[in-house]
Structure 1
Amino acid sequence: MERAFFEAGKALMELRDRKLYRSTHKTFEEYCRVRPWRWRSHRFGHNRRQSYLLMDAAIIFDNLEQKCDRSDHILPTNEWQVRPLSKLEPDIQPEAWKQAVESANGKVPSHRIVKDAVQRILACGA
């Protein structure tokens, strides 16, 4: 379950990039708007914004997975945790994540902790 947002984002990217939505919809945006999804046990149509947020989160998660220290394996467990990292360049995201993990005493940091780490980095001129 903790990689569900990553898998959903990757699946949406594949649908968009390979234009797999065309069998039922004219555009990816239309597909996102009318496609019913199960999300946190509520059923609703994914809108374009949420779809793109999931795709962005998957890219950031992949970046962290590839570039973060393998010894601790502490990675995000939901899309909300990585959202603040989108304000940073990809090469700076792992450092911000590392700072957030340290602020969370070696545990998976909350959205607020990640946001604070990003704000500290941005304040230093990253």
Structure 2
Amino acid sequence: MAGGKELEMQLEREAKAFQTIQKEIQKNHQLRQQFKTQLGENELVKTELDILDDESNVYKLIGPVLVKQDLVEAKANVDKRIEYISGETKRLDGALKDLERKASEKRQEVMKMQQRLQDLRSQAAK
């Protein structure tokens, strides 16, 4: 059963690769959740800024200090953040699809190797 040892080592490598992909998927989900939270917060800010009239005072927190900011500039900054966050979310969605495809392929490989190893062991037992 010399081929069996080699197959076991290959199976172990593939299983580790599968686990690595699973960790990347989990990290992707965490990042996507953070971006969705930020998107919600920024959309809420945008809604609040849209309610204000042109004469309203807007302040931006920079460190421990509130600094007066132009309303138009504040709206533009929030729009840019929303655009950036939306773009990152789409990028992460694409990466997630790719990772899920890779995970599925690795899972199939691992299952095939496990089956071959089991077949080798049952043949060796005979």
Question: For the superposition of Structure 1 and Structure 2, which TM-score range results when normalised by the shorter chain?
Answer: 0.3 to 0.5
State TM-score, norm by structure 2. Answer: 0.34
Higher helix share: 2
Structure with higher Rg: it is 2
